[in-house]
Structure 1
Amino acid sequence: MSTSPSSSKSGIVLHLPRRLLAIVGIAFAVGLLLFLVVWLVGRKDNDFYKPQPAQVQQETEQVKPLPEPLPAGSAASSMPQAKPAPAGDAPKLVETAPAPPPTTEAPAPAAGSDGAGSTATALAPGDRPVPLEGQTPPPRYPPAALRRGDAGTVVVRVEVDASGAPAGVALVRRSGSRDLDRAAMETVRRWKFRPAQQNGRAVPASIEIPFDFKPGP
């Protein structure tokens, strides 16, 4: 008995080995498990980053409106006005001229008086100046001239001004020793004189003074 082609095609059955079926089942289960894990993780991330709706707080207190500005006239009238001070209480400025400084007249020195402090201005009795006592120290003998044995007479001309001070010194006669001449001139420059007078007034004049230098024994 012969079989038809249709009956032979419908009767084909695939026979797969059990090991392959087990591998396919395990792979399917693993894929399903991974899908669930990924889905759960993605859901948690979406929940974490999901923005929270902002809570709008409504203000319960109402802002009070500002008072309306007053008109210019009413504002000026409400301010207290300053009262003028009475005329009697105002300070008065009194100008006074400064007092002139007192003038003092120096007393004129008396000519020819011998009182204390008038010795420098005392006049000489004539027209030639006179050396003052106690104001004419003697010359000092120069040590170098003394060692050499220098000796001699020096004549010095002194120009005395109206105040009795030496105004100029000049040699009239030399001793031959420069040290002796210099010592005589330096000594006369330190002297004080009574100035010469003319008609009762001090006038400048000159006088010649000799110095005799002699070394001692």
Structure 2
Amino acid sequence: MSRTEEHPADLLRRLARSRWAVVAGAFVLGWVLFLLVVTRQSGEPAPGEAAPAAALAALPSEPLPAPMPAGTSAPLPRTADGEEPRLVEEAPAPEPVQPEPETVEPAPVEPAPVAPVASSIAQAPELLPGQPAPRYPASALRRGESGTVVLRVQVDAEGRAGDVEIVERSGSRELDRAAAEAALRWRFQPARDGEGRPLPGEAIVPVEFQTE
């Protein structure tokens, strides 16, 4: 057998090896093309859109405004016709009018009934006889003091003396005191009404002091 004539089995093996080499080469070439496409798509901007850096560079740049001093306010923007806007304050809503309370007239006060006046005194109190005479003060007697003391004595319905008031003085304080002290121990005939019933009343009693 000559070298130019190969065995059929060796020929098949060689063809198989060359076919796999072609497949491997095609696979590597496909990967390279895929990477190129992906790289190109990620680096190029989408249609109708500019690159970010180019878009930022195309925008007009203006300097930032200087900071306002403390206590001042920024100027308001002007309207389309060049006038400054004005602050319009709305008037407060009117408060509801409260109805005035109705005045209630006080009811007239009727006067209280007056108690009937007791029966008038028909007989004033009288000093009963035999009452002790006032004591003559020794000092007033040595000085020769004398005079008449007029007393107003309040007498109850049982004839006992109550309050004693000096109506007229004698000019001697000791004589006036002696007459008032004596009147508190006296008994009286009580006052009586028209039907003879005893009533409280007052008696006027003069008391005389004489040195002789």
TM-score (norm 2): 0.41
